Amino acid sequence: MATLAFAPAVFVPVARDRATIVVAAIAMLALVALPWALNWGPSALFRALGGQTALWPTLIATLVCLVCAWRGFDRATAAVALFAVAWTFAAGFAAGVAGTSFGLGAGVALIALTICFARAVARRGYFNGDATVAAIVVVVAVLLLIFIFFPVGKALVAAVFDSQGNFVPRLAAERLLTPDIWSLACLTGGTRCGVAVNSAMLATIVGIGSTLLGLLLALVVQRGGQRYAGVTKLMSILPIITPPFVIALALVVLFGRTGLVTGLLDTWFGIPRSRWLYGLPGVTIAQLITFSPIAFMILNGALAAISPSLEEAAQTLRASRWRVFRTVTWPLLRPALANAFLLGFVESLADFANPIVLAGNFDVLSTKIFFAVAGAQHDPGRAAALATVLLGLTLIAFWLQQRWIGRLSYVTVTGKGDGGVPAQLPRPFWLACFGTAGLWIVFTLACYVIILIGGFVKDIGRGDMTLTLHHFSEGFGFAWNGLLPTFTGSAWDSFFTTIEVAAIAAPLTTIVGLLSAYVITRHRFTGRRAFEFLTLVSFAIPGTVIGVAYIVAFNVAPLELTGGMLILVLCFVFRNMPVGVRAGVAALAQIDKTLDEASSTLRASTTRTLREVILPLLRPAIIATLVFSFTHAMTAVSAVIFLATAKYNLATVYIIGRVEAGEYPLAIAYSTVLIFFMLAVLLLVQKLVGETRLGRRAATAFATGH
């Protein structure tokens, strides 16, 4: 019996593909009728007729693509569409400063041509013959390449260029290997360490500290029964609604040179005022309080998943409570502990808001990069070198985390806790946990109370507690002009811009994230792992690096986006995309796969299945993702601090500006407004949708990354 050669398992569509023809027609229409460039003006066709000859190949190729799609020549369609896109980009970059920046017409045409390419390629058997999946994967991958990999690459490469723009490779070595970055002097008696050493030290301390705190609180909550369920809820909400500098501000109010507690200590105990807060101690405390809730959620989930019956079995084998913890609970917790540590480590490295307020002379990478670009010594080359180091550190930590926790994937097996009563902790240990955790929670709540009060008193930073609404009227004052209010406060501009940008970015993030999650979890195709990796990688890139990268990459044609609102939207969309993907994966895991298959056997295309079966069942996840990407965008700072302008200012950037100018009360008042606004959004949505049914895994996904 002859064995047939095993052909690759593929499907190839049979029916005539009308959708590709329509998309190609849209591309043609965009070239003919829509304004080509960002500054509006004539369409591509008229520009070509008017002398911009570089556009002719694009126009002709698109026409040929349309004809090939009409005739069903898949290979030709794919080839021509690919050529059109490649040529357009190449010509755009070649034109350089003299060229025009891509606008609406260019954007629509390029996306349409990419979709044509993807669909044509699918008809040859790739992507399992599924044109919809192909389109999603190719378009998202291309967008990621343009808006994550290209800018980061370009920014890092700037390290080898000098200030005149000459290519000087040895400059990179010079910039990267200075003692300024790597010196260990502070550990051996000197005054200052290199900035990378500082960042790494801080990150390690915060990683260990937040993990420990999170563990203690998780133990209390898990073993304390249902009494502390409210704590869990609180911890899961705090990181979402809190702008990243709020804790730092509260600490300054409490422990700054003129702070409340400092003042009390001076009057009551004669302890002299000092600036001990500014530097490593202050940043450490701020970051510990900010990031411990995330560690708590990870460890809480892990403890909940450790089957209590394992511990019961150990107990029936005569193990003491301590022994049970040491030999059963602890080894099972180790992966979660490693996970929490690395997450805290990465969050600390990437944190910008707390250091900018509290670091003082203690340089960390994120602030140093900021000053290299925005400060007086405008040195993009140096910023690039620092960004390389920062990115290197986060990538290493991220890689370690993925290696220890599992393969590089969103799709992890959910653990199910079974019944059974978890073991009691040994009493002294329990008291220690309870005490420390209690202290931590009280301290955290105190910080929030400070912030809430601070807006309503004259100058809480200097102890002046006279009640006043001056700060709110200064920032958010308005007058009635007939029926409509005129907004006179100084903060309204940034507030409205932030809401506008966040509201535009959130739906886009949700669409891109959920569609990507869908193809990753519901379809098998060659290159799925690579695609999943592409979407995961932007998790590892700190906001500062992206911010710098965007300024460096998008300040010249054909993608001249700096100074506008579009760049802010794009930054939010692609930075927050992994959050949408993770939420999508978690939600899709709860939808039975046979529903997709049933739909398929009922002759429905992938698009129809997506629209009629999957999306309605995903509604809670869609709403949750919308809300969380919105709040993420409202509280982001480390990336957008580079991208905000006077015309398009953002709330967080405005607040940092006030802090730098020493106007703490206004900054605090604004923070209060932000917190309440987001709390209101969150509560409103929960009211409308009911408790989000995503589960803790997705909640953890939402909490990370500012």
Binding site for other proteins (CB under 8 A): 1, 3-7, 9-15, 125, 128-130, 592, 594-595, 597-605, 608, 612-613, 616-617
Q: Which residues contact 162 (CB under 8 A, 6 or more apart)?
A: 168, 171, 381
CB of 622 to other proteins, least distance (A): 14
CB of 117 to other proteins, least distance (A): 20
Quote the CA–CA distance of 111 and 684 in Å, as a whole number: 36
Residue entry with tokens 């932030």: 498
Closest among 492, 673, 643 to 569, alpha carbons compared: 643
8/272 with CB nearer other proteins: 8
CB of 66 to other proteins, least distance (A): 24
CB of 127 to other proteins, least distance (A): 11
Q: Which residues contact 321 (CB under 8 A, 6 or more apart)?
A: 423, 424, 425, 426
CB of 620 to other proteins, least distance (A): 12
9/483 with CB nearer other proteins: 9
Quote the CA–CA distance of 197 and 280 in Å, as a whole number: 12
602/661 with CB nearer other proteins: 602
Closest among 128, 22, 133, 13 to 74, alpha carbons compared: 13
592/691 with CB nearer other proteins: 592
121/238 with CB nearer other proteins: 121
CB of 126 to other proteins, least distance (A): 13
Quote the CA–CA distance of 198 and 683 in Å, as a whole number: 39
137/217 with CB nearer other proteins: 137
556/604 with CB nearer other proteins: 604
CB of 131 to other proteins, least distance (A): 11
CB of 594 to other proteins, least distance (A): 4
State which amino acid sits at residue 375.
Answer: G
Strand, helix or coil for residue 478 = strand
CB 309 within 8 Å of CB 418? yes
Quote the CA–CA distance of 125 and 135 in Å, as a whole number: 14
| Residue 588 C-alpha from the chain's centroid | 21
Quote the CA–CA distance of 213 and 215 in Å, as a whole number: 5
614/666 with CB nearer other proteins: 614
3/166 with CB nearer other proteins: 3
What number of other Cβ atoms are within 10 A of residue 681's Cβ? 17
CB of 602 to other proteins, least distance (A): 4
- Interior/surface letters 555-569, b for 16+ CB within 10 angstroms, e for the rest: ebbbbbbbbbbbbbb
431/598 with CB nearer other proteins: 598
CB of 9 to other proteins, least distance (A): 4
- Interior/surface letters 524-539, b for 16+ CB within 10 angstroms, e for the rest: ebeebeebbebbbbbb
13/107 with CB nearer other proteins: 13
Residue entry with tokens 């709330």: 651
Q: How far is CA 311 from CA 117, 217, 433, in A?
A: 56, 20, 19
Residue entry with tokens 């708590």: 296
132/538 with CB nearer other proteins: 132
CB 578 within 8 Å of CB 534? no
- Secondary structure letter of residue 186 according to DSSP: G
Q: How far is CA 323 from CA 51, 83, 422, 547, in A?
A: 82, 67, 14, 49
CB of 139 to other proteins, least distance (A): 21
CB of 299 to other proteins, least distance (A): 34
CB of 613 to other proteins, least distance (A): 6
14/483 with CB nearer other proteins: 14
CB 614 within 8 Å of CB 518? yes
612/660 with CB nearer other proteins: 612
Strand, helix or coil for residue 430 = helix
CB of 22 to other proteins, least distance (A): 16
Quote the CA–CA distance of 173 and 171 in Å, as a whole number: 5
Q: How far is CA 436 from CA 220, 239, 333, in A?
A: 10, 20, 20
466/594 with CB nearer other proteins: 594
Strand, helix or coil for residue 485 = strand
Q: H or E segment at 402?
A: helix 380-405
| Structure token digits, residue 187 | 């550990």
User: Alpha helices of 145-228 — where are they, by DSSP H?
Assistant: 150-157, 169-176, 179-182, 195-223
Q: Are strands 478-481 and 484-487 parallel, antiparallel or unpaired?
A: antiparallel
CB of 614 to other proteins, least distance (A): 10
